[in-house]
Structure 1
């Protein structure tokens, strides 16, 4: 399994080693809004700080973000929501011949009208970056059929795939949820697919050796999730969930820790510390190389990214009641190593969080391979079905009927 996982990880030849950048400018609005320049930089230009001074300043900044996380992940509701129709595109992040051929075929089908247009929710993210294309949020809309939603509260789930996912990743799950009467918004993470700047082949700016930009990407993702729920509420939806995979799992957890509306939570590959995953993960070794060459250590990186780490918000998450939680991890994961996933479960147990745990007998990349993709899909699909069904039962009279377990199994068959 380790050999298979390593081979899949090494298939991508376009990873770039980038040098360490502190990136304080990516969160300067927060720094200035809370009068932190003197405290962090002693009145100096951040660019003039030594490596050790900058590391101390980054640690202090993260502590401030965690202490003021309501403000950091707060936002003003967008006013420019719009549903647009366009042909789906793949937006690949690797340069494998098979992938590029697949991308070309989808473009050909769009040009000849062989495929149907899809609906996408677009709006301007309240968190602005230096890339206008990234700031225009994109979420493919999968509304459930009206007959499937009848007799229960309107339910919707926000789906966030893994880092460097193409635009088709997790779409099958969204279609599955529709069969359960659950609408889905498949959200493109910052710097992914149509939001990716033209200068990139991969979604590198979501996680990179620029520490501040990585923090800002997480902030934007969390706020975008919450904005999607605002739009769903405008459409009459009443109960909400979120499903995140890998990096999407981190974003989903932090969003849920800051928003009580997210009742159904599926975390597909989970860990405690953002920095530990990047430092030890097989698929992020190029990022570690750039950081290590500048003298940063694993402990330093853990502190530098504490504000985007689930462990910083676990107590907060635990205080929000009525959350139903699934945690899936892989036994032979070389990207989110199992020790960190087990640490997550220990924290959940210690805090009294009601969760289900499922273990895949594979690795991180092999989760997307048969038969493990089917097993993962069953874990996620069956949990989302049961969790939303339980939420509906709490909101409707006991006499109202709900689909049987047999019907659920029939719908979820791969």
Structure 2
């Protein structure tokens, strides 16, 4: 029987937007018991987002309790939850959590085993610590928009919220490391990361080009900035991606295109020379690619073991037979949408399984249920609701 390896861990989610919930999703899909701590509603827009596809995607596998953390009794409830919690994830500004009295130093006194994880735009300290930070702002500040897009095009954002997503994934990684460390030390610890730090980490080879070689990377469009030929070429009916930068790959590519003379051309004898003469080489390759369909070239190049593929729309991606074979999605029932398909985890394990077991909760949907688990009687729960200490949609 396949297991859910994190099902013994309890997580409190006080995060907002996307980065924090991304981290939580990495835990909840593998079984962690997550309680989403909702704040008092600011406006009716909060109701409109609950049934959106994105909300269902990012907030699944959680229960929800709505607490007024500006009320002393609300803080008391949160601290009761913290006493038996393994992980708390939050994205408040640094000053807010201290003002509310829910900072790490305070909560560790209640639960020394607590792993407290903070996400912010720019870090918990430093000159930008209290600035609001969002994905696109950080894509720009973190250098990504300067290397994305066609040469001379001007700054271009990535088509997905890459700063948010990478921050969440890295924070989840840090939480799992802390849980492993706790097995030996018996102690929790404080973890923090930021959108800016994560985005700069994701620069990877582009950062190395600057830090090691003192080279400032620029936009290279759909062609790889250093390994040639790797990029996108027009075909008779669309485009194709290829990657044939190694010398043996380049020779096989030239053979498949009936361009053996290119592999003998001194301008293309080495990877360095192909990089220097990249524009001339790419033009010669595209002249041939444009004479046949994408499907034709994919078949021909695969015969020569040349990495290649089409440029799919999202619908074409999910219709691809290999994507279907990988079983990357899961179905769940929604009261308004009916059967709903959501993207799952890209990891397969021999004895463990990710699962999407709960749709995203309504605002405060499990408030009564969770308070009852804490030992509150029905009359006490109704009193808390009447005094606006907690809220529920049910």
Same fold flag (TM > 0.5): no
Structure number with greater CO (CA < 8 Å, separation at least 6) is: 2
Higher radius of gyration, 1 or 2: 2
